[in-house]
Structure 1
Amino acid sequence: MKKNTLAFLFVGLLFAGGGALLASRHTEPAAAADSAVANLYAQSMPDPKGQQQALAGLKGKAVVVNFWATWCVPCVDEMPELSALHQELDKNRFEIIGIGIDSPTNIAQFSEKYRIGYPLYVAGMTGTELSRQFGNKAGGLPYTVLIGRDGTVKKSYLGRLKLDELRRDLQKLS
């Protein structure tokens, strides 16, 4: 009987230790992503015209952060849909921004040609590191992050957005 009790106690401790390890690994990415939000809000980035814009004004809103590049076909393909969604949103509660991982010249030319309806910023190659802080380990584009009004990352999307899914996720934040 003692052997069975000790065996059950040992197995129970193994499961508890394994669960604690999994829980710590599961919360680390969330904590890292939340520090990425603080890092984002602490930055100023130039817009396509070269004017520095403080991103701290995004605090308190639900924010869709779309990492993109002019040479990324799926990025460019989803931009008209994001522009249309941006027009529908309550700007006091929601914002969509595009962070360009490209040269200032390319983004400026793109912006003039296509007239995207939401704010674009130029991050250059530092945008790749910022997207990795948000969990984009592969460095793929487009990469989109949904940040809640509380400043925590609610969801991330790798690849071309499915706007119906994004709309549902935004409604959950209302």
Structure 2
Amino acid sequence: MNTLRIVASLAVAVLATVGGYYTSSHYTSTSHLAVASDASNTTEAAVTTSKAGAVDELWKAPLQNAAGTSQGIAAFKGKPIVLNFWASWCGPCVREMPSLAVLQREYAKKGITFIGVGVDSEKNVNEFLQKIPVGYPIYIAGFGGADLARSFGNNAGALPYTVVIDAKGQVRSTKLGEVDQKELKATLDAL
């Protein structure tokens, strides 16, 4: 019975990874959204408004840190952050985390904090962090993290999903799929 559960779990994980990769590879070209500061265009104004609601939701979200302690992200309010939604079973997420850790070290000098939001279980996140430690805060949202990512425009529900929020709480960019380092650096340098 346990073998059957393990095989079924592996099959689900493989399908989810393949689905996430397929979605990210087919939507990457349209997934980068830079929110312009000129809100005269009603479409841009609507995007800005909905993203602002997502940022407010983020500050109120009941999350826990990797140690299992309830701890919201509101402590980062007023600071620029890179919010990365990921899961331990997501191949593209795992591939990009070392590069995000390098960028975190580089941009920490500029006051920019990278934050990982695990759309996964506490057990899986901690097992992953034992193998691949990262130098930025990791929070656990469980599978409810997908709803939080969706509020930032991740309608596909795929991972990884990265959101850059400036110190004023404005969403500066979103990215479905693995981050492009040059693209992310350009966004961060403009903060």
Matched residues in 1 for 2:72 and 2:155: separation? 26
Structure 1: give runs of 5+ residues left out of the alignment: 1-21
Aligned length: 152
Equivalent residue for 2:99?
Answer: 81
Check whether the contact 1:75–1:160 (CA below 8 A) recurs between aligned residues.
Answer: yes
Instruction: Encode CA deviations 1:130-151: one digit per residue, 9 max, x unaligned.
Output: 0010011111111000001110
Which moved further from structure 2: 27-36 or 59-68? 27-36
TM-score (norm 2): 0.75
1:37 is aligned with what amino acid? V
1:13-28 equivalence runs, <5 A: 23-28=41-46
Find 2:111's aligned residue among 93, 96, 99. Answer: 93
Matched residues in 1 for 2:187 and 2:42: separation? 26
Q: Are the structure 2 counterparts of residues 110 and 130 from structure 1 closer, same or farther at C-alpha, using a change threshold of 3 Å?
A: same
Other structure's SS at 1:149 match: coil
Instruction: Encode CA deviations 1:56-85: one digit per residue, 9 max, x unaligned.
Output: 111111110000011111101000011111
1:45 is aligned with what amino acid? L
Once superposed, what is the RMSD of the aligned Cα atoms? 1.6
1:15-164 equivalence runs, <5 A: 23-90=41-108, 93-164=111-182
The higher-RCO structure (CA 8 Å, 6+ apart) is 2
CA displacement at 1:91 relative to structure 2: 5.7
Other structure's SS at 1:76 match: helix
Instruction: Encode CA deviations 1:86-125: one digit per residue, 9 max, x unaligned.
Output: 1122367211001011111101111122111111111011
2:156 is aligned with what amino acid? A
CA displacement at 1:28 relative to structure 2: 1.9
Q: Structure 1 vs Structure 2: percent identity of aligned residues? A: 41
Check whether the contact 1:66–1:97 (CA below 8 A) recurs between aligned residues.
Answer: yes
Other structure's SS at 2:67 match: coil
1:135 is aligned with what amino acid? G
Check whether the contact 1:60–1:93 (CA below 8 A) recurs between aligned residues.
Answer: no
2:131 is aligned with what amino acid? K
